[in-house]
Amino acid sequence: MAVDYAALKKGGWMRQKQKGKFALRVHVVGGTLTSEQLDGIYRVAAKYGKGYVHLTARQSLEIPWMDEKDIEDIKKDLAEYGVYPSVCGPRVRTTTACQGSATCPSGCIDTQELAKKIDERYFARELPGKFKFGITGCQNNCLKTEENDIGIKGGLRVKWLEDKCISCGVCVKACRENALSMKDGRIELDQDKCTYCGRCAKSCPADAWETHPGYLVSWGGLFGNHIHRGNAIVPFFEGEERLFRLCDATIDFFAENGQPGDRLQFAIERYGQEKFNRMIQDVFQEEE
Protein backbone atom coordinates (compact mmCIF):
# COMPACT_ATOMS: atom_id res chain seq x y z
CA MET A 1 0.00 0.00 0.00
CA ALA A 2 1.43 3.38 -1.11
CA VAL A 3 2.22 5.91 1.58
CA ASP A 4 0.58 9.32 1.12
CA TYR A 5 3.56 11.47 2.05
CA ALA A 6 1.77 14.73 1.25
CA ALA A 7 -1.01 13.88 3.72
CA LEU A 8 1.54 12.91 6.36
CA LYS A 9 3.45 16.17 5.94
CA LYS A 10 0.20 18.11 6.22
CA GLY A 11 -0.33 16.37 9.54
CA GLY A 12 3.10 17.20 10.94
CA TRP A 13 5.03 14.07 9.86
CA MET A 14 8.20 15.12 8.04
CA ARG A 15 10.27 12.61 6.11
CA GLN A 16 13.85 12.16 7.22
CA LYS A 17 16.57 11.35 4.71
CA GLN A 18 16.57 7.84 6.19
CA LYS A 19 14.03 5.69 4.34
CA GLY A 20 10.83 5.02 6.28
CA LYS A 21 11.74 7.39 9.10
CA PHE A 22 9.88 10.55 10.13
CA ALA A 23 10.28 13.45 12.53
CA LEU A 24 6.94 14.21 14.15
CA ARG A 25 6.31 17.90 14.77
CA VAL A 26 4.23 18.35 17.92
CA HIS A 27 1.53 21.03 18.23
CA VAL A 28 2.82 23.55 20.79
CA VAL A 29 0.94 26.81 21.40
CA GLY A 30 2.93 29.81 22.60
CA GLY A 31 5.94 27.68 23.47
CA THR A 32 4.16 26.10 26.45
CA LEU A 33 3.81 22.41 27.35
CA THR A 34 2.50 20.93 30.59
CA SER A 35 4.50 18.46 32.65
CA GLU A 36 1.99 15.77 31.64
CA GLN A 37 2.55 16.52 27.95
CA LEU A 38 6.31 16.43 28.44
CA ASP A 39 5.95 13.05 30.11
CA GLY A 40 4.04 11.69 27.12
CA ILE A 41 6.61 13.07 24.67
CA TYR A 42 9.41 11.54 26.73
CA ARG A 43 7.72 8.14 26.68
CA VAL A 44 7.12 8.19 22.92
CA ALA A 45 10.66 9.36 22.16
CA ALA A 46 12.04 6.55 24.34
CA LYS A 47 9.69 3.86 22.99
CA TYR A 48 9.62 4.65 19.27
CA GLY A 49 12.62 6.91 18.64
CA LYS A 50 16.13 7.31 19.92
CA GLY A 51 15.30 8.88 23.25
CA TYR A 52 15.70 12.54 22.32
CA VAL A 53 13.70 15.42 20.86
CA HIS A 54 14.58 18.54 18.87
CA LEU A 55 13.41 22.07 19.73
CA THR A 56 12.66 24.05 16.58
CA ALA A 57 13.32 27.74 15.98
CA ARG A 58 9.58 28.48 16.30
CA GLN A 59 8.96 27.01 19.75
CA SER A 60 7.81 23.69 18.41
CA LEU A 61 9.14 20.27 19.26
CA GLU A 62 10.03 17.40 16.94
CA ILE A 63 10.42 13.73 17.81
CA PRO A 64 12.77 12.17 15.22
CA TRP A 65 13.31 8.59 14.17
CA MET A 66 9.63 7.66 14.09
CA ASP A 67 8.90 4.63 11.89
CA GLU A 68 6.03 4.87 9.41
CA LYS A 69 4.61 1.52 10.59
CA ASP A 70 4.17 2.99 14.11
CA ILE A 71 2.41 6.22 13.14
CA GLU A 72 -1.07 5.30 14.37
CA ASP A 73 0.26 3.84 17.62
CA ILE A 74 2.36 6.95 18.21
CA LYS A 75 -0.62 9.26 17.71
CA LYS A 76 -2.70 7.15 20.09
CA ASP A 77 0.02 7.09 22.77
CA LEU A 78 0.55 10.86 22.57
CA ALA A 79 -3.17 11.62 22.67
CA GLU A 80 -3.37 9.96 26.10
CA TYR A 81 -1.17 12.80 27.37
CA GLY A 82 -2.94 15.59 25.49
CA VAL A 83 -0.29 15.82 22.78
CA TYR A 84 -1.18 16.05 19.09
CA PRO A 85 0.66 16.45 15.79
CA SER A 86 1.16 19.92 14.36
CA VAL A 87 0.94 20.91 10.68
CA CYS A 88 3.34 21.75 7.87
CA GLY A 89 2.90 23.12 4.39
CA PRO A 90 0.52 25.84 3.13
CA ARG A 91 -1.60 26.56 6.16
CA VAL A 92 -1.62 28.58 9.40
CA ARG A 93 1.19 27.33 11.60
CA THR A 94 1.52 27.17 15.36
CA THR A 95 1.40 30.58 17.07
CA THR A 96 4.59 31.58 18.88
CA ALA A 97 4.58 33.74 22.00
CA CYS A 98 6.77 34.85 24.88
CA GLN A 99 5.61 34.38 28.48
CA GLY A 100 3.97 37.80 28.59
CA SER A 101 2.45 39.66 31.51
CA ALA A 102 1.50 36.51 33.43
CA THR A 103 5.10 36.10 34.64
CA CYS A 104 7.40 38.60 32.91
CA PRO A 105 7.90 41.98 34.66
CA SER A 106 8.17 43.69 31.25
CA GLY A 107 5.06 42.08 29.79
CA CYS A 108 2.21 44.39 28.79
CA ILE A 109 -0.32 41.81 27.55
CA ASP A 110 -1.24 38.20 28.33
CA THR A 111 0.53 36.67 25.34
CA GLN A 112 -0.21 33.07 26.28
CA GLU A 113 -3.97 33.59 26.47
CA LEU A 114 -3.92 35.49 23.18
CA ALA A 115 -1.87 32.73 21.52
CA LYS A 116 -4.50 30.17 22.55
CA LYS A 117 -7.27 32.28 21.07
CA ILE A 118 -5.41 32.80 17.80
CA ASP A 119 -4.60 29.09 17.64
CA GLU A 120 -8.24 28.12 18.20
CA ARG A 121 -9.39 30.57 15.55
CA TYR A 122 -6.85 30.01 12.77
CA PHE A 123 -4.56 26.99 13.34
CA ALA A 124 -4.25 24.65 10.33
CA ARG A 125 -6.48 26.77 8.09
CA GLU A 126 -5.69 25.95 4.46
CA LEU A 127 -4.08 28.86 2.60
CA PRO A 128 -2.00 29.35 -0.57
CA GLY A 129 1.18 29.29 1.53
CA LYS A 130 2.38 29.06 5.10
CA PHE A 131 1.18 31.75 7.49
CA LYS A 132 2.81 32.60 10.80
CA PHE A 133 1.61 34.54 13.84
CA GLY A 134 4.09 35.73 16.45
CA ILE A 135 3.25 37.51 19.72
CA THR A 136 5.59 39.36 22.04
CA GLY A 137 4.61 41.03 25.28
CA CYS A 138 6.54 44.28 25.09
CA GLN A 139 9.07 46.42 23.23
CA ASN A 140 11.87 44.03 24.18
CA ASN A 141 10.45 42.03 21.26
CA CYS A 142 11.82 38.65 22.34
CA LEU A 143 9.73 36.93 19.64
CA LYS A 144 10.91 39.28 16.85
CA THR A 145 7.36 39.91 15.71
CA GLU A 146 8.35 41.70 12.50
CA GLU A 147 9.57 38.34 11.11
CA ASN A 148 6.01 37.00 11.05
CA ASP A 149 3.20 37.34 8.52
CA ILE A 150 1.28 39.00 11.35
CA GLY A 151 3.34 40.14 14.30
CA ILE A 152 1.64 41.33 17.48
CA LYS A 153 3.52 43.35 20.08
CA GLY A 154 1.99 44.26 23.41
CA GLY A 155 2.05 47.80 24.72
CA LEU A 156 0.55 50.08 27.35
CA ARG A 157 -1.13 53.41 26.84
CA VAL A 158 -0.36 55.45 29.94
CA LYS A 159 -2.01 58.38 31.69
CA TRP A 160 -0.33 60.37 34.45
CA LEU A 161 -2.33 60.67 37.68
CA GLU A 162 -1.28 63.98 39.17
CA ASP A 163 -3.00 63.46 42.52
CA LYS A 164 -0.93 60.33 43.20
CA CYS A 165 2.40 61.63 41.93
CA ILE A 166 5.15 62.34 44.48
CA SER A 167 7.38 64.09 41.91
CA CYS A 168 10.27 61.67 42.47
CA GLY A 169 11.26 61.62 38.80
CA VAL A 170 11.80 57.85 38.67
CA CYS A 171 9.53 57.51 35.63
CA VAL A 172 11.47 60.20 33.75
CA LYS A 173 14.72 58.32 34.36
CA ALA A 174 13.11 55.00 33.38
CA CYS A 175 11.93 56.26 29.99
CA ARG A 176 14.41 55.23 27.29
CA GLU A 177 12.82 57.38 24.58
CA ASN A 178 13.00 60.74 26.39
CA ALA A 179 9.23 60.96 26.09
CA LEU A 180 8.85 62.20 29.68
CA SER A 181 10.02 65.36 31.33
CA MET A 182 9.32 67.06 34.65
CA LYS A 183 8.61 70.75 34.95
CA ASP A 184 7.64 72.43 38.21
CA GLY A 185 6.81 69.04 39.73
CA ARG A 186 4.52 68.06 36.84
CA ILE A 187 5.14 65.24 34.39
CA GLU A 188 4.83 66.01 30.70
CA LEU A 189 4.41 63.20 28.15
CA ASP A 190 5.47 63.64 24.53
CA GLN A 191 3.09 61.17 22.88
CA ASP A 192 5.01 61.30 19.58
CA LYS A 193 8.06 59.81 21.31
CA CYS A 194 6.17 57.23 23.40
CA THR A 195 6.65 53.61 22.30
CA TYR A 196 4.03 52.22 24.73
CA CYS A 197 6.65 50.21 26.62
CA GLY A 198 5.06 51.01 29.99
CA ARG A 199 8.39 51.41 31.78
CA CYS A 200 7.19 54.64 33.38
CA ALA A 201 4.21 52.98 35.01
CA LYS A 202 6.12 49.85 36.00
CA SER A 203 8.86 51.89 37.69
CA CYS A 204 6.57 54.27 39.60
CA PRO A 205 6.67 53.75 43.40
CA ALA A 206 3.39 55.63 43.88
CA ASP A 207 1.16 54.00 41.24
CA ALA A 208 0.76 57.40 39.63
CA TRP A 209 0.15 56.01 36.16
CA GLU A 210 -3.04 54.54 34.71
CA THR A 211 -2.35 51.87 32.10
CA HIS A 212 -4.40 50.46 29.22
CA PRO A 213 -3.02 47.41 27.35
CA GLY A 214 -3.10 47.29 23.59
CA TYR A 215 -1.33 46.17 20.44
CA LEU A 216 1.25 47.21 17.88
CA VAL A 217 0.82 45.06 14.77
CA SER A 218 3.01 44.45 11.73
CA TRP A 219 2.20 42.75 8.43
CA GLY A 220 4.22 40.82 5.86
CA GLY A 221 7.32 39.76 7.76
CA LEU A 222 9.70 37.21 6.22
CA PHE A 223 12.94 35.70 7.40
CA GLY A 224 14.25 32.96 5.13
CA ASN A 225 15.25 32.88 1.48
CA HIS A 226 13.73 36.34 1.30
CA ILE A 227 13.94 38.81 4.17
CA HIS A 228 11.37 41.52 4.77
CA ARG A 229 10.62 43.43 7.94
CA GLY A 230 6.90 43.50 8.64
CA ASN A 231 5.20 46.86 8.11
CA ALA A 232 3.29 48.74 10.81
CA ILE A 233 0.18 49.99 8.99
CA VAL A 234 -2.00 51.21 11.86
CA PRO A 235 -1.07 52.92 15.15
CA PHE A 236 -1.21 51.43 18.63
CA PHE A 237 -4.75 50.38 19.49
CA GLU A 238 -6.74 48.73 22.23
CA GLY A 239 -9.42 46.07 22.00
CA GLU A 240 -9.16 42.37 21.18
CA GLU A 241 -12.21 42.56 18.94
CA ARG A 242 -10.47 45.04 16.64
CA LEU A 243 -7.33 42.87 16.63
CA PHE A 244 -9.26 39.82 15.46
CA ARG A 245 -11.11 41.89 12.88
CA LEU A 246 -7.74 42.86 11.39
CA CYS A 247 -6.48 39.28 11.53
CA ASP A 248 -9.65 37.98 9.87
CA ALA A 249 -9.32 40.53 7.06
CA THR A 250 -5.67 39.61 6.50
CA ILE A 251 -6.31 35.87 6.39
CA ASP A 252 -9.22 36.39 3.98
CA PHE A 253 -7.04 38.64 1.81
CA PHE A 254 -4.31 36.01 1.59
CA ALA A 255 -6.81 33.26 0.82
CA GLU A 256 -8.24 35.31 -2.05
CA ASN A 257 -5.05 36.86 -3.45
CA GLY A 258 -2.25 34.42 -2.66
CA GLN A 259 -0.76 32.03 -5.18
CA PRO A 260 0.51 28.51 -4.42
CA GLY A 261 3.71 28.71 -2.39
CA ASP A 262 3.22 32.41 -1.61
CA ARG A 263 3.85 34.28 1.59
CA LEU A 264 1.64 37.18 2.61
CA GLN A 265 4.18 39.81 1.57
CA PHE A 266 4.43 38.40 -1.97
CA ALA A 267 0.65 38.65 -2.34
CA ILE A 268 0.73 42.21 -0.95
CA GLU A 269 3.41 43.27 -3.45
CA ARG A 270 1.39 41.98 -6.42
CA TYR A 271 -1.77 43.59 -5.06
CA GLY A 272 -0.01 46.85 -4.23
CA GLN A 273 1.35 47.85 -0.82
CA GLU A 274 -0.51 51.15 -0.69
CA LYS A 275 -3.77 49.50 -1.75
CA PHE A 276 -3.32 46.82 0.93
CA ASN A 277 -2.52 49.48 3.53
CA ARG A 278 -5.76 51.30 2.72
CA MET A 279 -7.73 48.08 3.04
CA ILE A 280 -6.27 47.39 6.48
CA GLN A 281 -6.81 51.01 7.55
CA ASP A 282 -10.45 50.82 6.46
CA VAL A 283 -10.95 47.69 8.58
CA PHE A 284 -9.15 49.38 11.46
CA GLN A 285 -11.52 52.35 11.33
CA GLU A 286 -14.72 50.28 11.31
CA GLU A 287 -17.04 50.98 14.20
CA GLU A 288 -16.79 48.59 17.14
Question: Is the pLDDT score of 279 beyond 70?
Answer: yes
Residue-level pLDDT at 224: 86
Nearest residue to 93 (alpha-carbon basis) of 48, 154, 163, 147 = 147
Q: What is the mean pLDDT of residues 246-270?
A: 98
pTM: 0.95
Q: Is the pLDDT of residue 1 over 70?
A: no
Q: Evaluate whether 253 touches 263 at the Cβ level (below 8 Å).
A: no
How many CA atoms lie less than 13 Å away from 111 in the CB half-sphere? 32
Instruction: Indicate the burial class of 49 (C-beta count within 10 angstroms; 0-12, 13-18, 19 or more).
Output: buried
